[in-house]
Structure 1
Amino acid sequence: MRVAAILVAAGRGERAGPSADGPKQYRTIGGRAVIAHTLNAFRAAGTVTQIVVVVHPDDIERLRTASDTGDCLIVPGGPTRQASVLEGLLALRSHVPDIVLIHDAVRPFVTAELIDEVVKTVAESGAALPVLPITDTVKSVDPVGKVITTVPRAGLFGAQTPQGFRFREILAAHHAAAASEDVVFTDDTSIAEWHGIPVQTILGSVDNVKLTTARDIQIADERLKGFLTMVDVRTGNGYDVHQLVAGDGVTLCGVRIPHDQTLLGHSDADVGLHALTDALLATCGGGDIGLHFPPSDPQWKGASSDRFLRHAAEMVSAKGGRICNVDVTLICEAPKIAPHRERMTRAIGNVLGLDADRVSVKATTNETIGFVGRREGIAAIATASVVYA
């Protein structure tokens, strides 16, 4: 099934006010022209195989500058929207699509899902119109602004685009409408209705707004900027392992625990803080603990590992980072970690300036498997989440 889309972009957009960028379809929102966003939405729809852009003759080069149009057929428009759509339909006669979608180029928030749903409905019913129920109270008002009456809103809907049709049927309807100068049409489904083509409605999207005024464009720009400004949350992981040898205790997550073994290392061999140091360094591209505190340097012999962790936290802070939470998992058969967990979380929190609910220390055994299971060593895995300004 061949599906073409006509983007109507020949209007001058006078209600949006003057701009150096030209008509509203070329105004910038979220760093790109309105029409560029609209084109990308149709490219994302898997059902659309051909795109036609109907443009004012004076704006052809402006269109090419504003957006990638290499895969589009560019057609000069007519003096009215209706005439422009007919020009787009006539340009498709050599392509003969099965279905054609007609869309306002200044509706940049149309989704690929809505486009595909319109195509599906046309294939099933012949013509499709996305609509939204009118929720505001509707008033009929006279030319001087006085209310005449309240119009019942039951059964009233606002029409959106893209509006979809069988190509040959809507082309014939537009030909007939062009020959009937005494009839005014506000959209393409009104032409279809007039020509006797049944139109099936589907639920539109509240996001699929038409940009009409300068304020509409400003709101759209703010919306996209908010969406495109990524919250810079980074997650780092760290892993460390140290060998167990005969001794009288181990230091884990900043807490000294009496034990019949000790961890072998150049510093105090605190695997928990070493893994956490690496996790923090990972969030700012800071390398690893060995880069900053090489075991070959005698000044770190027997050093308390909270110094390493504090250094990593200072690096994070210097690069605009704010530590959100940290998590350490100790993997060992012994000693028991649970009795010391609260002291460990407090020790880490004191170094990093974190509340207790932002520090997690967990422990698990290795089920007597491997070097940990044989009590030959203790391992640690750590994760840190940091928000960077």
Structure 2
Amino acid sequence: MSRPSPSVAALIVAAGRGTRAGDGLPKQYRALAGRPVLARAADPLIASSLVGRVIVVIDPADRDHLEVALPQAPKVLPPVAGGATRQASVLAGLESLAADPPDIVLVHDAARPFASVDLVAAAVAQITDGAAGAVPGLPVVDTIKTVDQVGRVVATPDRASLRAVQTPQAFSYPALLAAHRAAAAQGIAGLTDDASVVEWAGHAVVVFPGEADNIKITHPQDFAEAERRLAGGAMLNDIRIGQGYDVHAFGDGDHVWLGGIRIAHDRGVLAHSDGDVVLHAATDAILGALADGDIGTHFPPSDPQWKGASSDRFLAHAAGLLAARGGRLAMLDVTVVCEAPKIGPHREAIRARMAEILGVGPDRIAIKATTSEKMGFTGRREGLAALALATIRLPGDGA
């Protein structure tokens, strides 16, 4: 009999201020090729089928920034307030899981936007195979010098035994929680990563191959390099088009949601979620282009957690799946079919909101509206519908 799959949770450490990255927003909330660094860091964790829960540890003052950077997705739990140090922040995240502990926990830096789903799987596999802790690492190619306070060289370590480690780092959840609690109780501070905490507690940590692209954003020049990398990375030659369609009947109410915008109306809609036909059709269009099921596959209407849910969560999830595969949205074209309400006065607000959710410019969002000339259910004002076409670009040759 095969063993049951371990439960896996992931912590994204995002409570720091990132002062070395320059003035402005903390680096994890700044845009990188149109999407926040934090959103890119979260993509592989959200997209991984192995990870069941994702928690972002933040500075409470950044809650509004988080809501913009990382719209709610099915796996993303409410954020946890971090502490004054990285160790304190990770411990806060670990404690938030204690009531329903996972078997394995991943800890990922919010400032690493290029980790892959494959790296997440490799990290989990190390703990599944019995390690207490595992970190991705790369061989050091430069000669390293140890220097004293005045810059005098005191040693030259053998670089063959050195590794530059990355995140996500993976651990047995009980081992990492106990190590962090013990370090906090003894006033041990200044350990620079979670592997150091586990090592301090006496556990062995293994290093597995990291990824050269998995860089950390630290200084202003790192943003420039990351932008160049995104602009000149893999050729996005695999062009795909997906379509989406959604319809909802009118019911009692005083407003409808269209494209993430609340619009006053003399009717509401009958729906399990908020009934936003524009966002539902757009979500299905992107999922269709990815050949990744439909909105009902990812958000079953039979699941009570989606009752009344805000549909921006659905569209953000589809965008995350696209980003995790290295793709980009080229164009999203939506047509709303209804006699009322009028779409024109709200068109630009809808475009702006959808662009914000998708992390693209409004010039990649088209919103059109038409009536059905008083024919059919829309013509009889019984409901409204939306049709969407999404054009995406994925790495590959398009064959």
Give the TM-score range, shorter chain: 0.5 to 0.7
Of 31, 41, 44, which aligns to 2:47?
A: 44
Equivalent position of 1:68 in the other structure: 71
Counterpart mapping for 1:1-389 below 5 A: 1-19=6-24, 22-71=25-74, 72-73=76-77, 74-126=79-131, 127-227=133-233, 230=236
- The 3 A distance-change label for structure 1 pair 8 and 182 is closer
**Could you tell me the percent identity over the aligned residues?**
45
Instruction: Report the Cα offset of residue 196 of structure 1.
Output: 1.5
Structure 1 residue matching 2:222: 3-state secondary structure:
helix
1:41 is paired with a residue whose SS is helix
Using the TM superposition, give the Cα deviation of residue 159 of structure 1 relative to its aligned residue in structure 2, in angstroms. Answer: 1.2
Q: Residue type of the partner of 1:222?
A: R
Number of aligned residue pairs: give it: 232
Q: What displacement does 1:157 show?
A: 0.9
Partners of 1:81 and 1:143 in 2: CA distance: 25
CA distance in 2, matches of 1:80, 1:124: 31
Secondary structure (helix, strand or coil) at the match of 1:168 reads: helix
CA RMSD, aligned part only? Answer: 1.9
In structure 2, C-alpha distance between the alignment counterparts of 1:70 and 1:148, rounded to whole Å: 51
Q: 1:141 to 1:227 in 2, by over 3 A?
A: same
Cα separation, 2, equivalents of 1:198 and 1:232? 43
> Structure 2 counterpart of 1:12, which letter?
R
CA contact (8 A) 1:30 1:222 kept: no
Q: Deviations over 1:101-139 (max 9, x none)?
A: 011111110000010010011111232111111110011
Q: Which amino acid aligns with 1:190?
A: S
Q: Which ranges of structure 2 fall in alignment gaps of 5 or more residues?
A: 1-5, 241-399
Deviation at 1:170, TM superposition (A): 0.7
- Deviation at 1:180? 1.8
SS at match of 1:4: strand
CA contact (8 A) 1:128 1:200 kept: yes
Task: Give the distance between the partners of 1:162 and 1:67, measured in 2 at CA.
Answer: 18
> Residue 227 of structure 2 aligns to which amino acid in structure 1?
D
Gaps of 5+ in 1: 235-389
Shift of 1:230: 4.9
Displacement of 1:190: 0.7
User: Closer, same or farther in 2 for the Cα pair 1:156/1:98, shift >3 Å?
Assistant: same
Q: 2:291 corresponds to which residue?
A: none
Cα offsets for 1:143-192 (capped at 9, x unmatched): 23333332222211111111111111110110001112145311101110
**Match of 1:95, as an amino acid?**
D
Say if 1:182 and 1:40 are closer, same or farther in 2 by CA, change over 3 A. closer
Distance 2:218 2:144 in 1: 20
Larger Rg: 1
Relative contact order, higher structure (CA 8 A, sep 6+):
2
Amino acid at match of 2:175: E
For the 8 Å contact 1:125–1:200, the answer to whether it is kept is: no
* TM-score of the superposed pair, with normalisation by structure 2: 0.55
Measured after TM superposition, the shift of residue 232 of structure 1 is 10
